[in-house]
Every structure is written in C-alpha cells, then in structure tokens.
Structure 1
C-alpha cells in the first residue's frame, strides 16, 4: 500500500511540474525578443568590416601596398587569393567567424519585423536604404550575387539562394531608394539609436539621394541616358549639404576601428602607402599629405617609441611589382629597418590610422565631386568648377574628424585650389583623381569609381608572378565554398556573366 501511495505522489508531482514547466524554466531576466533597432545599429557597425582589408581594392588603385606574400597575397602581386577576395562576401552576407552577423542577414531580419508595423515605418525604410548601400558594394565587387532571396534562410528556409543578374539588381536598388524616400516620415517614431543620424529623417533622405547619385554615375559608360536621368532625380531631390551629413561610424578606445587595429598592431610594419598615391600628393603640394602620411624610423614600434617624420618632402611611397626579396632592387630604395619593416611612408597612426578614429562610408566630398562631373557632362545645372572646389574643400575639412592635429587651415586649402584650378579640358581627370584621394581607406568605393572613370591613370603592376593576363584586376572572385555548397546557382551566374576570375568586368565597367 505504501508503495502504491508513493507512486501516486510521484505521479501527482510530475503532473504538477508539467503544468508549471514553462514558467519554472523561463529565465525571468532574459529578453524574449530583440528590438529591431538593435539589429539595425549592428548592421551599420558591421558594414565597416567589408572595407577593412588592404589586400585588394586599395592595392589595386595603388594607395596601399605590402611586399609580403602568403596570407597577405592579393593585388600587390595581382594574384587570386580566395581567402582575401571573399572578405566582402563573408562580412556583408553572413558575418565574420567571431560571432558577428552580416548586414544583409541583420537588415533582412529588421525589414521582416517592421514591414507591417506602422509604428516602425521609418526604421523599415532606413533599413531599405542601407541595404541598397550594402548591395551596391557586393555587386560592384563580384557582379551577379544573391539579392532577391538573400538573407531569408530563416524566413523562407531557402539556404541556397540564386544569383541575380547584376543589372537587374541595380534597377531594383533605384526602385528601393525611390520607395524608401517616399516612405520616410518625420512625424512618425524617430529611431534615436541610429548610429549615423540618430534618426534624423531629413539626413536620411539626403543619404538616399546621395546614394542614388552614386548609383546613377555608375551607368556613365553603359547607359548615359539612364545615368543622366537618375543623377538629375538625385540632384533635384537634395543630396548632402555639408560634412555634417557624412555617413560614418565614430569609434572609441573601447569599440576600436578595424583599420586602426591593422595599422597599430600585428601588421604595423607590413603595410605602406603606394608610390603613385604619395607621389600625386607630393607633386601637387597637397596639404593632406602631412596629415595622411608618416615615416617611422622603426615601423614595428609604436609612434611614441620611435622617431616620426611627417615632413612632406621626406615621404616615400612603396613601388609596386616587388616582393620582400626584390624590393631592395627598386629605384631609390630607402632601406630596410633591422627591427622590422622598411623606410617607406605609412598611414599616420595619430590621424587616419587611429584606433578610435572614424570610418567613412559616403561623404559630402565624394558627392560634390560626382556633381562636378555631372555638371561637366551637362547633366545638371551649376558650375563644375564650383562643385570641384567644394568637393576638395570638404575632404580637406574632413581631416579634422580624425584628430585636432589633422586640421588643415582654410588658408592652406585656398592656396592649394589656386595652384590646382579646375580646367574644363582635363576636368574628368581632375575630378576623379580627387575622388580617388577623397575615397582613401574606403577601398570598395575607390576601386569602383576608378573602374568607372578610368582616373587616375595608373601604371600597371607587372609583378613577375602575377596571374592576370591584362593590366589590372577588374573584379574579385567568389568564395571557394560557393562552388561546392551552392554549385548550381554559382554555375548559372558564371555562365551568364563570364569566368570567375579577376578580369571579368561587372556590367557597368565597359572598356
């Protein structure tokens, strides 16, 4: 009898536990849902990771260089290193290997949560705008990419998204901007957690129109009429008005800049400024040179532990076409440093190379320079010379964002512009060479506009071990994993756009 009573008591206890199972096993302090604004701000922050690599874009346009192979192999040797060409893909789609989620995944989640929530409509449309930015980088980097099905594995269960034709993606990007701009409403909830503008709707509209301008200018060589139409719409809508509109992430000593970490830690004796970049700034007496560049007597040490030379006349860029064994044969070789590194110029670690410095995505300077070209082509009203001067001035003024010591006086800016006046006959070269400078440390954009415009004119890197057959890299290659995991869709894309190599051009990049 006692045995039966014991079993009854046990059963009763089990039933009781089962009835309260959910409440007993629920953590009372753990969040059961995530505010989509948190996901959105993480998407903004994580976009930076795609511009942190120095292995390809910045080296292709000859702004930065390293003589090392192995893990650092890329455009310095004009070779296809899939560990490095995959960086934009990895960071923008799925995220990094350290637990970060990629912007596409995060923005898709935000849009899924907010598309039917009228109280969060501004967040929904801000996400659409930033998603356009991210996908433009992906298309400009690779060509055909997953777009319409991208980031929806957890929503639709489709883990093998098809690659969409790049021209179709670009068309949809403009549509997305049109609709997002129309949907923004300053009378609705303002998303103050936005890392760019704290939810300021007027600035988000200017961001969208400035991004539309950038997209429109990409069509210059492939469809001039379409380019003009999109550019005019953006200009009339209202683009950036000042450096206050710049899209940037401001880092701190706790949340540090990935590029700043690169310059100041394990790679500090490995990366240098490219000779063409330094030479252009030197020959034009550009006041930005002493802000951007520095020569460290011992590059492997921190600035406070070694002599730092910021004198413009003493800056020497590292030439292309050499490796760590042959660099000593380069003309005017300045010497190797016994403690590690070479006597070439590097990014100034007290200004643009600071670990707590900002990272810029899209700027007033770039926008004014694109307007200068549009005006020079007769697509918009206004003086190309005035837009040009405004663009150069804006970028020089932007230097103070890095550090107070980087401030360029207005008198120095005026002197530079007087010595480098805009000349209509060479206007396209002047404008886009300045765009090259204004896009320094934003590798994907510097690479894209160089391909689009053809300026500056660069001498091909003829490294003996190069694997490209032409003069320059025109796109980056897909991750190797795509060839096996998503093989069917990968093969369709390759058959449609051309070989998956470094020389197949994206749709707007015509010879």
Structure 2
C-alpha cells in the first residue's frame, strides 16, 4: 500500500508542478491550476508528506542551506553557499514547494472533508492533515520570520497577494490548532486514516507527534516567552514520544521516483564534505556515531572534515581527496526523512528541566537523548560495533553539567539533529551554544562571509525576490515588521 501511494503521489506532484510553472500571468493564479478538486484526499496527504520531505532533504535546500547553516557540511567545488550567498533558486523552491504543493494539498483535504467529519476515518485524516500543516508552517516561520498564514489559500476570494502574519501570532495559532487536533484524535482513537505514509494512519501515533510538536514549538520560544513555554511543555510532555518506536519517519523506497531525495545509489555525490566543526568535535569525545555520519577520505582513508566555508578558488586549500564525504547511510536510497524523533523530545525536556520546568530530572532526560540518538543510528546503519559499554563510555565523556546546560545540551542536541539541516540551524541560532566549558564550536567561513549582515551565521532566509514584485505591499510590511529583510536580522525567539 505504501509503495502504491508513493508512486501515485510522485506522479501527482509532477503534474501539479508542471501546471503551476505553466502560468504566464498573475491572472492565471485566480484559476488555481494546482487545485486538485477531484483528487482523492488520501493521495493529497501522501503527496503533501512526500513533497515536504523531498524538499527538506534535497541536496539543494537541505545541503546548500540547512546543512551549511548548521555547519554540518561544507561545500566542495561550489562554495559561495557556505559563505552565505543565498541561491535564490534554492530559496524559492523551498518556499514555493512547501506552500504551493504541500500546504495546498493539505488545505484541499480540509476543504474536501469539511462536511464529512462525522465519519471517524475522515475526521482523523483531516486532523492528520492539519498537524502536518503545523509542522510545515513552523519550518517556514523559523526560516523566514513573518510569513503568509491566515490569508493563505484565499484564491476563491480573489486574494493573490496574502498578507504576512507576525511569526509570534503564527506560533499561537499553531499551538491552538495542534491542541484542537489532539482532542479530535482522542475521540477517533484506534482509527486508521488513509493516505498517511508516516504512521500509516495511526491516530495514536499522530497524537503523540502532535504533543511532541507542541514541545518543539514551546522550547523554541522559551527565551522570548518563558511562561507560555512552561505552560505548554508541562501540559504535554507526558503524552509525547517515549521511545524510538514513536519516531515520525517518512519511509523511502529503493526504487525511483521514491528514493531518498539526495542519495548516491546511482552516482557519486561530491558536492559536500562533512565539516571540520562536526568531525573534530566528534573525534574529541570519541563519538560512536562519527563513522556513520562521515566516511573515510579517499586519499588518506581517515575521517577528515573540511574547515567550514573554504573557497574552492583558494589555492592553499588541499585537494578534495583529503576530505570526507557524508556517511553511506546519510546518502542511502532508503534513508528515512525525519520529521521528529524521540531524541529531540528528550533534549527538549532536558532543557526544560534545566530552566526549572516541572518535567523531571535534566540529567536523566539528557542521558536518554544521547542513548536514543545513538541507538537510532546503530539500528539504521546496522552498526554492531556500537554496544552498551561503548554508549556508556561515551556518555561519561560528555557528562551533564547544570551550570553549563546551554552548551552541554545544545551540543548534544545539535549532534542528534544531524542530518536535519534546518532544525540543526534553528537550534544553533536559538541557543547560541558553544562546546561544553565555553570554547567556541562554530567558526566564521574560512574564506569570509559574502553577506555583510551575516559575518558568523544567518538568522533567517531572505524573502523571495518574486515577493517584492508580485506581493509588494505585503512584502514591504513584513520586511519592516521584522527589522529588515536581510539574513542577519534576528527572529523574535533569538535572544542570545
């Protein structure tokens, strides 16, 4: 069934993309050529999930943006991206594919199912669509700041220039929406909704994910609104993920067009090296995940990271064979798309406890997070060299320290979020952590930043160039509201 849904959704997404790219005038948008009024909601849901995962794990969006900004990877021959010159094509694809395909699909599910919610399966499917949309909207808000939300998809009313909502308001709406869907899933408990590729329609699993997404939203706003973050976390943590069995994963298949979007099953991928930032720190603490995250260099057959942002034009830069590509599992055709996992939940709770929230012991949650991450990768890569003594030995090298919690938790959470580039970047800028003890972990690009507003790391992506003309008034209002449309503008939750 999963294979059938994935193949159908891929064909549908291709047709939807071609239809939209064929628009020649703004007036054409009023006809909404991507609106699949006759498409079955189950295929819309599968298509929305696959499209979102495809773009979030693409080499163009995840590789050149997320993995660079999180400083997990550095570029090989194309290095301007790691020096913060944003590729506008990659940027527009991230925005457009999430809005015009995934969110559009999900909105159409809600519309088509609107009068049929007495049916538990349809009610559950609609709730899953809304939860999926919340995940995507948070990604957009955390990448750009203020975004179109409340007036999006009002084409029937002739609105082709939606206003941008304040990101804090978007967060509040997402919290309300997730809480409402949890109540619906409680009523439809045990129902299997069609079209869902992540949990195969399990309402119990989606309820846990909704609670866990509330934790992600709350912890990200903790420095900006501690009281609200505390309220949400304390009310939801006991219903969130409790093991790796709860992980929200999108299963890819070893057959085109349903392979992991950036894989080397048919050709060598040479665009990226793992960064020295990642490799050197993992080596310093003998992290057992290193051999999974990276592979030996071609020349020396050792894992060697490239210093971040080193321009290929620099004649002093060593030959590419000296540096390590990302690990084989990371480039596997069946690498799952990670929406959220148990390790992240435990690191959220460790931070919440460190902040004084009533969620249990910070050190215990911290240890659980490390164990969950290593166990996940051990199983995924079938690495039998990682046993319990090795895990315990590693944890002893990176002990929890309450007086240094931001650096201790931040570093381990960053390691656990690999290869979720955007999430790793969001946490890097939010926590502004260093190595445990306070020594700098991240560096400025070796060859210098190409963006004057961003000497060390971007805090956001700039809005699309097309928005400046097609949606000019809304764009200008949004740019002014956030403090300027540059990558160096801190978002509302960036307080450090």
Counterpart residue number, 1:44: 49
State how far apart, in whole Å, the 1-side matches of 2:37 and 2:153 are.
22
Counterpart residue number, 2:261: 258
* Residue 73 (structure 1) shift: 3.1
Deviations 1:100-135 (A, max 9, x none): xx2111111111111321211111111111111000
Counterpart residue number, 2:298: 297
Counterpart residue number, 1:428: 406
Deviations 1:357-397 (A, max 9, x none): 21211000011011011111111231111111110011111
State how far apart, in whole Å, the 2-side matches of 1:347 and 1:403 are.
13
Larger Rg: 1
| Structure 1 pair 413–467 and aligned structure 2 pair: CA distance change class (3 A) | same
CA contact (8 A) 1:296 1:345 kept: yes
Counterpart residue number, 1:176: 177
* Residue 289 (structure 1) shift: 0.5
Counterpart residue number, 1:320: 308
User: What pairs up with 1:289-368 in 2 under 5 angstroms?
Assistant: 289-297=290-298, 309=301, 314-326=302-314, 328-330=315-317, 335-336=318-319, 341-349=320-328, 351-368=329-346
SS at match of 1:480: coil
State how far apart, in whole Å, the 1-side matches of 2:222 and 2:459 are.
17
* Residue 210 (structure 1) shift: 0.4
SS at match of 1:286: coil
Counterpart residue number, 2:289: 288
**Is 1:369 matched with 2:347?**
yes
**Is 1:271 matched with 2:272?**
yes
**Is 1:381 matched with 2:366?**
no
Which is further off, 480-489 or 277-286?
480-489
SS at match of 1:55: helix
State how far apart, in whole Å, the 1-side matches of 2:263 and 2:154 are.
33
State how far apart, in whole Å, the 1-side matches of 2:398 and 2:189 are.
46
**Is 1:460 matched with 2:463?**
no
Counterpart residue number, 2:205: 203
State how far apart, in whole Å, the 2-side matches of 1:177 and 1:32 are.
26
State how far apart, in whole Å, the 2-side matches of 1:502 and 1:454 are.
16
Counterpart residue number, 1:304: none
| Structure 1 pair 187–357 and aligned structure 2 pair: CA distance change class (3 A) | closer
Unaligned runs of 5+ in 2: 1-35, 435-440
TM-score (norm 1): 0.82
Deviations 1:308-330 (A, max 9, x none): 94xxxx3111002421121x525
> What RMSD in Å do the two structures reach over aligned CA positions?
2.1
CA contact (8 A) 1:78 1:463 kept: no
* Residue 497 (structure 1) shift: 1.4
SS at match of 2:339: strand
| Alignment counterpart, residue 482 of structure 2, candidates 480, 484, 497 | 497
CA contact (8 A) 2:479 2:485 kept: yes
CA contact (8 A) 1:468 1:502 kept: no
Counterpart residue number, 2:240: 239
State how far apart, in whole Å, the 1-side matches of 2:415 and 2:148 are.
31
CA contact (8 A) 1:315 1:344 kept: yes
Which is further off, 446-455 or 401-410?
401-410
CA contact (8 A) 1:93 1:104 kept: yes
* Residue 462 (structure 1) shift: 5.1
| Alignment counterpart, residue 65 of structure 1, candidates 56, 62, 74 | 74
Counterpart residue number, 2:89: 83
Unaligned runs of 5+ in 1: 1-30, 95-101, 299-307
* Residue 198 (structure 1) shift: 1.5
State how far apart, in whole Å, the 1-side matches of 2:170 and 2:324 are.
40
* Residue 447 (structure 1) shift: 0.9
State how far apart, in whole Å, the 1-side matches of 2:188 and 2:43 are.
20
SS at match of 2:153: coil
TM-score (norm 2): 0.85
State how far apart, in whole Å, the 2-side matches of 1:382 and 1:399 are.
26
| Structure 1 pair 353–235 and aligned structure 2 pair: CA distance change class (3 A) | same
Aligned residue pairs total: 444
* Residue 192 (structure 1) shift: 4.3
* Residue 150 (structure 1) shift: 1.8
| Structure 1 pair 352–406 and aligned structure 2 pair: CA distance change class (3 A) | farther
SS at match of 1:40: helix
SS at match of 1:316: coil
CA contact (8 A) 2:218 2:230 kept: yes
SS at match of 1:86: helix
